Amino acid sequence: MSHNMMHSDPNLSSSTVTDEDYAARNSSFSAFDPSRMSGEGSPMMMSPWNQTTPFNKSPWSQHFDENPPQNLPQNGLISSLVREEGHIYSLAASRDLLYTGSDSKNIRVWKNMKEFSAFKSNSGLVKAIIISGEKIFTGHQDGKVRVWKIHPKNPNVHKRAGTLPTFMDIFKCSIKPRNYVEVKRKRTAIWIKHIDAISSLSMDQQEGLLYSASWDRTFKVWRMENSKCLESVKAHDDAVNSVVATVNGMVFTGSADGTVKVWTREIAGKVTKHTLIDTLLKQECAVTSLAVSGSGSVVYCGSSDGLVNFWEREKELCHGGTLKGHKLAVLCLAAAGNLVFSGSADKTICVWRREGMVHTCLSVLTGHTGPVKCLAVEEDRESTAGDQKWVVYSGSLDKSVKVWSVSELAPDLHQMAMMQQHYSTSSEGNVSWDSIPSAKY
């Protein structure tokens, strides 16, 4: 294996990339005002994230066409979906449809990489999208989850089917004083309502439950069939940036307070209760994103310092190591098959392949001109037993969505060595920070 290939050592938190490359991580640069409310502009637009990236001239930044040169790695760009109407904050893929959410408040629908349909959400930029059968749930800056249905006779039309919580539930809940909880000093609100932006949505299909995480420091649990809020959990000391519900009623949350927490769900009759069972991480910098491998065996956590930590489920969530591939904050994660994808404020996506607990960086996908904010992965229909392939969608604050083809086969090692050498010798874009007060993503 090439010395320059990045990979994680399960026993160490270092990798073969030298420490000098990441010396800038120790800077105490802070671009955030802790008193800033969530509506006052996005932290993504702060200046250090518009730096140039060391990967601009790497072999991966080439535009792949119908007949890509044979000597290039299998991982490359298939298409760019651009509609100049706002930064892309959320993505969801389902069979041949792709849903994209932006700060234009529109949700766009793409079919076979062409614009197919759109529907508008009156208020609040679209921070999360999740699909369940014929229903689409969208989480917004205004703290609401909106529900949409595809028209049965015309798949081009999406109709608004409700809001979580429903108007009637808010009305009924607001009458009883016991339904009010303190949300800020001297301010109360009814417990079923998020009072700040929704950052993340997750689903337990088997139980019919939807989870919403918010900058208001809580996550809430909803029964999808009747839109009822079953529970609100005061989960963290700062914004909750990510929630992931996994098998066996286990739920993970990651927060700007620097922690990853593990919750277990118990359902007794009509009562749903989540109990904190573990805190996996306590660090200075914000946790921005979480992902769990398809089998649920590995939990990944991205942070604002550019690192990805992971834990092994089989070993009672023992820390497995750290993936060092980014020079700026990791903003999104996705896992599929043996691969993990990390999207970053450095405008790149790292593709990691897991073998046991060792992760190797197969390639770095470059081409975005702004921070990569969201990722979605689907199996490529051209996959074979010998070559598992994935279609990766990435949404960016450059207002575009890019579509990539990624293979689990290792790329050409000579190409890898060239790319990694370029990566480790370049000093551009080397801006990072340790501590970000109230980093909301």
pLDDT in tens, 119-158: 988 877 999 999 998 899 999 999 999 999 998 888 889 9
pTM of full prediction above 0.75: yes
pLDDT for 391: 94
State both tokens at 431.
């801006």
Pairing, β 76-82 against β 400-407:
antiparallel
pLDDT for 386: 83
Domain ranges of the chain: 75-423
Of the candidates 283, 344, 366, the one whose C-alpha atom is nearest the C-alpha of residue 56 is 366
Report how far residue 354's alpha carbon sits from residue 299's, in angstroms, rounded to the nearest whole number: 12
Alpha-carbon separation of residue 339 from 117, 257, 367, 371, 389 (angstroms): 31, 28, 20, 21, 10
pLDDT for 22: 35
- Tell me which fold the domain 75-423 belongs to: Methylamine Dehydrogenase; Chain H (2.130.10)
What is the identity of the amino acid at 205?
A: Q
Report how far residue 229's alpha carbon sits from residue 197's, in angstroms, rounded to the nearest whole number: 17
**DSSP character string of 148-164:** EEE-SS-TT-EEEEEEE
In order along the chain (441 residues), what is the average pLDDT of each group of 10 residues? 46 37 33 35 37 36 38 72 88 91 90 91 89 93 94 90 94 94 86 96 95 97 95 97 94 98 92 95 96 91 97 90 96 96 97 92 95 95 86 95 91 54 43 48 78
pLDDT for 185: 77
Alpha-carbon separation of residue 348 from 60, 211, 367 (angstroms): 10, 29, 7
Report how far residue 406's alpha carbon sits from residue 392's, in angstroms, rounded to the nearest whole number: 7
Residue 121 is classified by DSSP as -
State both tokens at 85.
């109407």
pLDDT for 75: 75
pLDDT for 420: 52
State both tokens at 133.
């059968």
Give yes or no for a cis peptide into 69 (omega within 30° of 0).
no
pLDDT for 439: 72
Report how far residue 390's alpha carbon sits from residue 5's, in angstroms, rounded to the nearest whole number: 22
pLDDT for 315: 84
